[in-house]
Amino acid sequence: MNRRLMVVEPDPSSRALLDRVLTAAGYTVEDFESSLHARLVLDDDAFDLAVVDELAGGGMPLDEVRFLRAAYPRLPLVVMGTLLTAPVLLDLLRLGVSEALPKPFTPSELRDAVGRALVRSSPRRDDALDYAAALASARRDLAQGRPEA
C-alpha cells in the first residue's frame, strides 16, 4: 500500500530534501509551503500523514500545527523543528502530535519517525476525533452568534 504524505516546510531546499528522502522510502509525497496551500487536497482526505515544520505558515511557532490539529484531527502529524524545547514538546503532546523530530536529523531518523507515526495512527479513534472537532466548531459558532453555521 502506497502511503501519501504531506510535507509542510517553508524553506524550498528543505522541502526538496524531505521529498527526496521520503520518496526514496516508498512514500508518495506532496510538499507545500503552508497547509493553506493544501486546503483543497486536505479536504479530500488525501493524506495518510503530514510532516510539518514548527515555523510553517509564517505566524507564531506551532500555528500551523494547531490549525491542522483543529481542522483535520484525524491526520497524524510529525512535527520537526529547531525550537523543540521542553515547553514546546509539552504543547505538542497536548495537541496529540504523533512524533516530534528535532532538527537537524538524519534521513533514517525521519523515515523512522514517519514509520512510527503511521503505525500508531489508529482508525478506531477517527470517529471520536471527528465528533469532538465538529462539537468544538459548533460551540465556537454558537458563541459567536452564528447558529446557522
CB atoms within 10 A of CB 126: 12
Q: What does the pLDDT look like over 34-44, one tens digit per residue?
A: 888 887 788 88
Q: Do 117 and 76 meet the contact criterion of CB atoms below 8 Å apart?
A: yes
Please tell me the predicted confidence (pLDDT) of residue 34. Answer: 86
Nearest to 103 by CA among 77, 78, 76: 78
Give the 3-state DSSP-derived string for 36-57, with helices as H, strands as E and coil as C. HHHHHHHHCCCCCEEEEECCCC
Q: What does the pLDDT look like over 55-78, one tens digit per residue?
A: 887 778 888 899 899 989 889 999
Nearest to 79 by CA among 92, 60, 94, 68: 92
Res 80 pLDDT > 90: yes
Residues 6+ apart with CB under 8 A from 114: 5, 22, 25, 27, 49, 51, 78, 99
Report if pTM > 0.85: no
Q: What phi, psi does 93 have (nearest 5°)?
A: -65, -45
Q: What does the pLDDT look like over 108-149, one tens digit per residue?
A: 999 999 999 998 876 655 666 677 788 888 888 889 988 887
User: Which set of grid coordinates corresponds to residue 136?
Assistant: 468544538
